[in-house]
Amino acid sequence: MGYVTAVPPSRSEAAGSARAGRLSLAVALLAGALGAAVALLATRQRWAEGTATVAGGAFPLTAKGSDVTGVPAALAVVGLAALVAVFAVRRAGRVVVAALLALTGAGTVAAALIGAFDGSALDEKAAEASGDTSASVEALSHTAWPFVAAAGGLLLLLAGLLALRYGRLWPAMSGRYERDGAPRPRREAPAVDPDRPEDLWKALDRGEDPTGA
């Protein structure tokens, strides 16, 4: 009965994986950072406007994104933290953090789109301005900023999906130092037998001088 021998990946395949890892890393970092910044900026802008009838006249009202909903801003902060944390964990932990990053992006998109058509914040302001708890805003209109926040969420979602797909190819923070800050002892390089060509090649691959000169 024959045995199947695993064939190691060729150099071209390894180079292709390395390129994919570098490209996906750059895109994820840019998309994640930009998405969080855009979502945070958008929530500080005017999302809705209208008028309330006060003393027989029209009183203008406006509501910022943070007045409508605080979810996009909160998720953007969590997403930015998850983007950084991706490089602090390995294997299964990286998958979990990458999934969290993707979820923050999806949640930001959903909350922003819901807030784009929400007039409750202005209704509350209309009630305060008129002194009538049953008052509601009139001539309600919305700006494009909620959709800008949703675009930021899409960028966060993209970063999370890239981390899920290519995160295994990304580098991790160095684990050379212990928790107390003391450097871990370096492992001694194996002795090189000059009579064994495979030892010489391995030493050259490690950047060592096999001759000991």
- Domain ranges, ordered by start, for the chain: 17-172
Which of 84, 73, 78, 76 minimizes the C-alpha distance to 28? 84
Alpha carbon distance 213, 211 (integer Å): 5
Task: Give me the sheet containing 46-54, strands edge to edge.
Answer: 57-64, 46-54, 138-142
Higher pLDDT, 4 or 164: 164
Ramachandran bin of 10, using left for φ above 0, alpha for ψ from -120 to 50, beta for the remaining angles? beta
| Residue 16 phi, psi (nearest 5) | -65, -40
Residue 178 has pLDDT above 50, yes or no: no
pLDDT at 112: 96
Topology annotation, domain 17-172: Butyryl-CoA Dehydrogenase, subunit A; domain 3 (1.20.140)
pLDDT (mean) for 34-62? 88
Residue 211 has pLDDT above 60, yes or no: no
Which of 8, 27, 32, 6 minimizes the C-alpha distance to 152? 32
Alpha carbon distance 29, 159 (integer Å): 7
Residue 11 has pLDDT above 70, yes or no: no
Alpha carbon distance 106, 79 (integer Å): 10
pTM of the model: 0.71
Alpha carbon distance 126, 119 (integer Å): 11
